[in-house]
C-alpha cells in the first residue's frame, strides 16, 4: 500500500508541467498553443524570455530528482524497497509525459529524465549529461544529443549499478524519451531539424507543427 502511495505521489509530482506553470506566472502564452506545441523549456524559449525557459528547465529537472530522492529517503521507513523506488522513478517520468493536471499533454522529458538519473546515481546522471554535452557540441542538435544520451544511459546504468531492475527502469525511460522524439528523428533524417543557437521563432500558432525541439 505504501509503495502504491509513493508511486501515485511521484506521478502527481511529475504531472506538474513547469512550462505551463511558469508561463502563466510570467503572463506568457500557453506553450501548447505556439511553436512546436511542446510544453518544455525549448518551446518556452521561443517567447524570448530566457528566465522563464531556465525556470522551466530547472523545475522539470528538480521534480524528477525530488520524487526519487524522497522515495529513497522516506520509502524504506514505510517498507518501500528497491523495486518500489525504481517504480517511482518511472512514475514521475510518466507524469511529465502524460500530466494528469494538463490534459495528459506533456513534454518530451529530457530535463525530468536527467533529474531522475541524478537521483538514482549521481555518476549515472553525470555520464549521461556528459554524453548529451559531447553530442550537442559536435553536431549542434539538441534532439540528437538527447537521443544519444538516452541510448547511452542504460549501458551506464548497467556498468554502475549492475541491478537488473534499475537497468530496466533506465531503459524504459530511455525508450519513452526516444519515442517522444520520433518526429525529431524524421527531421534529422530529412536534414530539417533546427540547430542549437538558431534564434527562436516568435510565438505563433502553427497547427501543422508538432513535437519540434527537445524539452
Which position has the grid cell 523549456?
41
Confidence of residue 62 (pLDDT cuts 50, 70, 90): very high
CA distance 193 to 198: 11
Residue 206 has pLDDT above 80, yes or no: no
What integer pLDDT is reported at residue 211 of this predicted model?
A: 41
Tell me the C-alpha to C-alpha distance, in Å, between residue 194 and each of 6, 68, 153, 156, 166: 39, 33, 24, 28, 34
The string of DSSP codes covering 103-142 is TT-----HHHHHHHHHHH-HHHHHHHHHHHHHHHHHH--H
Model-wide pTM > 0.85: yes
Question: So where are the chain's domains?
Answer: 2-190
Q: How many CA atoms does the CB half-sphere of 201 hold within 13 Å? A: 15
Confidence of residue 174 (pLDDT cuts 50, 70, 90): very high
What integer pLDDT is reported at residue 199 of this predicted model?
A: 55
35-45 per-position pLDDT tens digit = 878 899 989 99
Amino acid at each position: 500500500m505504501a509503495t502504491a502511495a509513493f508511486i501515485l505521489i511521484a506521478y502527481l509530482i511529475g504531472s506538474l508541467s513547469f512550462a505551463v506553470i511558469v508561463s502563466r506566472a510570467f503572463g506568457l502564452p500557453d506553450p501548447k498553443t505556439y511553436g512546436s506545441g511542446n510544453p518544455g523549456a525549448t518551446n518556452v524559449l521561443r517567447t524570448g524570455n530566457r528566465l522563464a525557459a531556465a525556470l522551466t528547465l530547472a523545475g522539470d529537472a528538480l521534480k524528477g530528482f525530488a520524487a526519487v530522492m524522497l522515495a529513497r529517503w522516506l520509502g524504506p521507513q514505510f517498507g518501500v524497497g528497491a523495486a518500489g523506488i525504481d517504480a517511482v522513478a518511472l512514475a514521475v517520468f510518466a507524469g511529465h509525459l502524460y500530466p494528469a493536471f494538463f490534459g495528459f499533454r506533456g513534454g518530451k522529458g529530457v530535463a525530468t529524465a536527467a533529474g531522475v538519473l541524478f537521483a538514482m546515481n549521481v555518476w549515472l546522471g553525470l555520464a549521461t549529461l556528459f554524453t548529451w554535452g559531447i553530442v550537442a557540441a559536435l553536431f549542434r542538435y539538441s534532439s540528437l544529443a538527447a537521443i544519444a544520451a538516452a541510448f547511452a544511459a542504460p549501458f551506464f546504468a548497467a556498468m554502475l549499478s549492475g541491478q537488473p531492475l534499475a537497468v530496466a527502469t533506465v531503459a524504459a525511460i530511455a525508450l519513452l524519451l526516444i519515442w517522444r522524439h520520433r518526429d525529431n528523428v524524421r527531421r534529422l533524417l530529412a536534414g530539417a531539424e533546427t540547430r542549437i543557437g538558431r534564434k527562436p521563432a516568435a510565438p505563433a500558432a502553427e497547427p501543422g507543427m508538432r513535437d519540434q525541439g527537445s524539452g
